[in-house]
Structure 1
């Protein structure tokens, strides 16, 4: 079978003059959903996007597995993370063969054993649930900020500075990509001040674990930025669905609720790599240097993999999910470093919640750096 190039792949409708760039900027979810529909109709699991450079999006388990395990072919250098200063650095952008060693140094601090030692501190930082109506999205934002401050810095980081640092990540693109040198310098100075204190006095928070490592202060900044919005949006959606479906608001059901939220609304809705060499994918040549994208959002809603894929149904988690189809934390060697931290914090919050009632809200997913609800999501104690 002779190989074809990217022009042989299906694609969503284009706009004259800019291909897919306008829809990628303004309506990316309908764009990739149309692309996946065109790909399925053509019997394929990948489709092409015209973004000014060669780009291909895949959504099948086979594609996800290849992209997330073949680290020498699908590399992070040159991916979307590099254009966002918050995420441009640290282990996120390290590639094989250096990635494994760097990740191994960081894993103990984010493992279940160490996080359990921090749990009393993070639980103590949990803000009270407001009386009356409140916006679950705004409350989740404040709550996660306080919990991450406790986990990383024992609550010692200036709360106003931490909020100012992380707030732009919640804004639409290109706001998160804009340089903020003075703000970053202030944050770096505070991280170093507290970090040097840990080096002298010791400690058990995440800063104390990361500070002695090569590039440890950068890892603090990058992992903190990666943790905040992802955890905030997952928590906000979980609160909203527990308020809408109170029969699931019991400790034994919370794990399934969170899994279902992350299937429908994965904060990391799109992942990117660059091809380090040509790849033959089912008879199509994907060229060296092309963007190679995978989408937990598309895979989590694929009608060929999930029954009633757009329906919120935590009961589906009585069975195992299809392999390489559920990827809210990525997969393979690059599995999200903060996965256990995010899950611990969210489950602790859900376990402390009183019964809730949904009042009004807009849970339409709105993609930016992460996928979150358009909001607000107004709930109250039931």
Structure 2
């Protein structure tokens, strides 16, 4: 019988005396996980260890992604990173089996293609004008997505100033998004109750009209709204930047490939986390119950063993199917992102409405926070 090894057998990035990987995790997490993935590849494996104050492993292969995302009884959301961020600590995001599937079934109709198609005209009308001169695509995308989400969720009726105040901390470096904001959340919940009551009494066809009648539906609205804003903003900003740099891709038939390529290179959800409900054996290593189990769409999308020229922006690669379980900007399995179709609808709608653009100057280097976005600014202009 083979002898199982412990976590000490796993490769890991270089550590710092006294704090393991905590300092690098806080200050330069992309470089940290890239070093870990390289160490794993050099050892002939696909998992590496991080020393974050509790047992933690990161997998960087399609096999690991598939196992983690299709075994919800072992890899659970309770106790994952989402729990420490008040914006995400609730609703279906943290509901595990057996409650997750029926809860998700209740919410799916509102976020499905058929219902979202009925909202397209409303969201299109909410799109702000494109400035005549130079403008920062990142700042413009932030403003645009605020308006689009207000239209999709609330028919544009949510107090814009309060909506901006609620979502602004998510765009700050960690740990700012994790700080408690009880008074702000009370104001937001009061606005949700006001609008939710109107939907229950007078009806409506926006997303709140679907969520408000559900038990805990107002919490689901608040959490899914927070999850949608920065992810959609950053993907849209990168898409604007790349079609401005390479305008041959700024035609409707190419926009789906542009967005897929943006999400491969810069997945807003750059790291996903679960906790182990039981011990797991992976390639002869025992990972103990309670450990953090991480997967990274950022690493999978840039793995040179899976993609040709992985650091290049090449929308043409999407003429072929991607490697299975290597492209995960919206997660996978039964917990695939609830807002996937909403984000795609909004971004494609914006790209289709934009005039030709040209890039002026900018810093697109990925900056990890709660989500992955460009360091910015990304200055563009009308062509």
TM range (shorter): over 0.9
TM-score (norm 1): 1.00
- Would you identify which runs of 4 or more consecutive aligned residues in structure 1 move more than 3 Å? none
Partner residue, 2:100 = 99
Distance in 2 separating the partners of 1:62 and 1:315: 26
Distance in 1 separating the partners of 2:309 and 2:90: 39
What secondary structure does 1:56 align onto?
strand
CA drift of 1:151 comes to 0.2
Q: How does 1:162-177 map to 2 (within 5 A)?
A: 162-177=163-178
What secondary structure does 1:149 align onto?
helix
Distance in 2 separating the partners of 1:124 and 1:355: 20
Partner residue, 2:116 = 115
Partner residue, 1:144 = 145
Distance in 2 separating the partners of 1:49 and 1:231: 29
What secondary structure does 1:16 align onto?
coil
Q: How does 1:226-375 map to 2 (within 5 A)?
A: 226-375=227-376
Distance in 1 separating the partners of 2:93 and 2:3: 37
CA drift of 1:59 comes to 1.2
Q: C-alpha offsets along residues 232-259 of structure 1, whole Å, 9 cap, x if unaligned?
A: 0000000000000011110000000000
Distance in 2 separating the partners of 1:69 and 1:99: 13
CA drift of 1:266 comes to 0.1
Partner residue, 1:222 = 223
CA drift of 1:356 comes to 0.4
Partner residue, 2:77 = 76
Partner residue, 1:26 = 27
Q: C-alpha offsets along residues 27-71 of structure 1, whole Å, 9 cap, x if unaligned?
A: 000000000000000000000000000000001000000000100
CA drift of 1:213 comes to 0.4
Partner residue, 2:211 = 210
TM-score (norm 2): 1.00
Distance in 2 separating the partners of 1:179 and 1:272: 21
Structure 2: state its 5+ residue gaps: none
Q: C-alpha offsets along residues 328-358 of structure 1, whole Å, 9 cap, x if unaligned?
A: 0000000000000000000000000101010
Distance in 2 separating the partners of 1:59 and 1:36: 6
Q: C-alpha offsets along residues 62-93 of structure 1, whole Å, 9 cap, x if unaligned?
A: 00000001000000000000000000000000
Distance in 1 separating the partners of 2:262 and 2:3: 42
Partner residue, 1:155 = 156
CA drift of 1:212 comes to 0.2
CA drift of 1:324 comes to 0.2
Size of the aligned set, in residue pairs, is: 382
Structure 1: state its 5+ residue gaps: none
Distance in 2 separating the partners of 1:114 and 1:2: 54
Partner residue, 2:58 = 57
Q: C-alpha offsets along residues 198-229 of structure 1, whole Å, 9 cap, x if unaligned?
A: 00000010000000001000000000000000
Distance in 2 separating the partners of 1:90 and 1:20: 31
What secondary structure does 2:364 align onto?
coil
What secondary structure does 1:272 align onto?
strand
Q: C-alpha offsets along residues 169-198 of structure 1, whole Å, 9 cap, x if unaligned?
A: 000011000000000000000000000010
CA drift of 1:152 comes to 0.3
CA drift of 1:2 comes to 1.1
